[in-house]
Structure formats: C-alpha cells, structure tokens
Chain A
Amino acid sequence: MPLDYKRFNGPEDSISYKRFTEDYIKSYDQLYQELIDENGVRKDGRAVDEARKMFAINDVVTQAKGSAYIELKQTKVVCSVFDPREIPHQNEFSQLGQIYCEVKFAPFSCPRKRRPHAPEAEERALSVALRKALEPTVCRHLFPNFQIDVFVYILEHDGACLAVAINAAGLALASAAVPIYDIITACTIAVIDGKMIMDPTEAEEHLAIMSPETQTNHGLITMSTLSQLRQITDFRQIGSLDVDCVTKAMDLLQKQCMKIVPNIQRVLVSNVIKYHKERKKLEEEAREREEALNKKMEEWKLLLNAG
C-alpha cells in the first residue's frame, strides 16, 4: 500500500480521554486481581490454560488469490495473499522466492490509543516477524525471482494479534494454492506472576509486559510451528523468564498449536468440498441446458423436414 503523505493525521498532541478515568493508573495488583480471581478464573470466564474459540473462513476477499478471516472473540484479522509477481526494483537474481509481508492496524483497532496512519515501529516489527514465520513454510525455491505479497489488516486488537495474523496468513496461503510444506499455526502465551496464561487478551498482555515489583517471572511468548514436520518457525519472547518457565511454556504452546491445525484443515477441506459441489451443480445445469437445446433442435429439424 503506498503511503499517503498528504493525509491529515490529526493533531499530534491529542490524548485519549481514558487518561482521566480511574482505570488509567491502576496498580499492578489491582489489575491482576481484576483479570484473574483467586480460583484461577479469568475475567472472560476462561480457565488459565483455555484458549478462545476460533472462527475462521477463507476467500473473503474476492480480488485476492487467497484470503482468510480469523476471529478470536475480539481479535479480528483479515489477510489476503496475491499472485506471485516479479520482485520490483531488483536487478539481482534471487534463487529463492521472496515473501513480502505487511501488517497494519486499523486506526480504531486498539483500546488504548488511536493508531496513526503512517506505519510505526510496532507494525514494522510485526511485519518482519510474520515474514520470518512464513519464510520456512513456503516452498520458496519454486518461484525464483518472484515475490508473494501477504497483507494482514488487524481490524480489532484484543491480544495475540501476531499469532492470529500468522494463522490467517497460513490459511490464506493454503487457499491461494501457494505451495507450502505444512500448515503453519501459532499461538501466544502470557506469563503473569509465574502463571501461564494461554491466549491472552490485550489487558492480560499489557499486564504481562508490565514489570512487577517482585522478581517473579513475567513475559509474553509467541511461537509458530509446522506441526506435522515438528519444526518451530518463529519464537519470540519478551519479559523476564527463567529457563524452566520457557521450557514449560514451549510444551504448552506446542500442544495448543497442534489443536489449531484440525480447525484450519476443516476450513480448507470444507472449502474444497464447497467448490466441488458448486462445480458439479454448474456442470449439471450446463448439461440440462444442452439437453433442452438438443431437444429444441430435434423439434425444429422435424418441423423443417416436415415443412
């Protein structure tokens, strides 16, 4: 997407009115108690190790070669993949095909702050992360000197947006019939006060990154895997965790990634079935029309012969 420099971006010094509400400067403990009660039940009623329900469909953007829409409650992401095209502005031959990723937040996507129109550091970092995750997935040797464009638009952000973006991109790539080694799935885990919290919401992510006064483990991990091949394509952690915690989180993430695979597969298979049925129906209709036409022809021939 070309950058529109002439676009008016709004006053720089405006601030969210939420700064003046009481919620704004809640302490770490207050936030913690609000999000997780003493029984280990989260604000939205989930258990600590329970992920949100996922909704996924593909081919939502008709102009794109392949596209996908994934929703995890309030996190909503659209992704589209376009045909391979020659790498622009490059005069060197590249043996491997390239993947161009662009992640963009909608201006109204985040609960804390309005996103400016110009790409900012976080979006750029997410784009790089997405590219790193997708590179080992795609059979890049099959299209040398070409690039595949993957665009992700985050409509609403309520945590785990990179993981959802990777899942959507994987689904879109598969539905665009881009050769891939395996279906890529990803998920995020937050560690708050040593507790592993699967598939965090934005508020939980915020708390996980916030540094507590004590020396407990806190942090955020996003991992993307190719489950059949048992490979990790990307792993990013932030915060402060000890090694045991990282290892434990890795196991949990791997299991969760495995759980997502059948969902994606189901969407893809049902899509194939749908197209197959549609095609059958079309063929049927064509045959019926042809039969009717042939019948008419016969009638006319009889009429002609009789006349």
Chain B
Amino acid sequence: MVNLRAFRSLTLALATLALRDPTSVSFSLALAPALLVLFGLALGDAPVPLQDGLAAIDHQLPAIAAWVFAMTGLFTVPMAVLTRRESGTLRRLQATPLRPVTFVAADVSVHLVQVLVGLALLFAVGVLAFGARPTGAPAAIVPAALLGSVAFLALGYGLASVLPSSRSTLVVGNLLAIPMLFLSGATAPLEVMPQGVRDVAALNPLHHAVSLLRGAWLGEPWSGLLVETAAVAGLLVVAAAVAVARFRWEA
C-alpha cells in the first residue's frame, strides 16, 4: 500500500528544503567536529586514568558521536516536526493519500543522512587531526553508529507525537538531555560514582549507546555488547511504536 513514488518524491523535497536552510545544515554538520575540537583541546593526548594505555581521544570520540545523535533526537527532530505541524504543512499533507508511515520514513531518511554525514566528519577529524585510532573494525563501528542514530531519531518522533507544542520541546529536551548526558559515562566516568547513581544510569539509553559505540570503537566483540545492543534496540522499538501510534498531523 505504501506508494514508493510518494516516498521518493517526498524524501527529495524534504532534502531540498533542508539544504535550503543553511543555518540548520551547517549546525547539524558542524556540531560534531566542533564538540570534538573543544574536547580534544581540553584533553590533549593524556591517557584516560582508569584504563591503561588508552588514548583519551579513543575513549571520548565514540561518546561525542553518541551525543550528536542524541541531541538530534532530543531537540532537532521534535522541533522540526512540531514546527511543521503548527504551521499547517502537515495538515495539507493529511488531505492527500500520504500515509503517516511514509511521511516519517522520508523525514527520518533526511535526518539520518545529516546525522551520518556529521558522524563521518567527526570520525575523520578525530583520526586526521587528533590521532584517534580505532581498534574495532568498520564492520562493527558503522552498524553501532547506525543503530544508535536510528534509535535516537525514533525517540525524536516519539517525543514529537506526544509533546503539545514546539515551545515545549526545549523544556522537555533539556529535562531529558541534562541527566542523560550526565549519566551517560561520556562526561564523567560512571565507574567512580556511587552504586545508586550507576543503577539509575543503567536505565539511561544514552549510557548504553555510548558504551555500545565505545565498545565497537575499541574492538570489543559483539558478545560483550549484548546488553547495550538490546537496550538501544529497545529504545528504537518503544519510541517507534509510540511515534506511529500517536502520530498527529495537526496541532
């Protein structure tokens, strides 16, 4: 029943519109490398205290990658969807045979490409400018980055379907982002925190996304990352289910 011509044409139109918005494109592409430069300058090439022989950049780079897709899912996607809903552009599409799933698939594709290009830039700058050296194979790093990106984009559509207005996205996004970042293991090492904090962190999908990406980057086998993979995949399933069940064309 899904009209492939509709999907193709809508994806192309949404991509064209994204490219015509220079501020949003440059932000989504430059965010990741900019974060890396800040952290790279702050950390230098000092080894991470808790892990012998590991360069700080190889510890931090996967975490920054996870932040990038988390920020896209928590802020960029809900803001974009809600702005379109409030302006009435989604309502006009509702009066056509376009199905919600086709619209979301097209919109996800455009956001995913932006996120993946940003991550590719991030990894390139990390390797070329900061001497990062992945131990893991691209065949592990790419799927881990892809799964994390798709899961957090789905979170963005889930949020967009339950949030009342574009103004509420900043509040809710920050309410979620601050504890998620703090308890992700990306900013402060969870290993030095009390057990209670670590128990809460175990419920944080960003924590698992950081661990998954970091494990893949450092060459851990998949068998050692099953919990992380399941947690991120779980976020994807729950968020996508909410997004589809609660999808609304109009404010």
Asked if A and B bind, the verdict is no
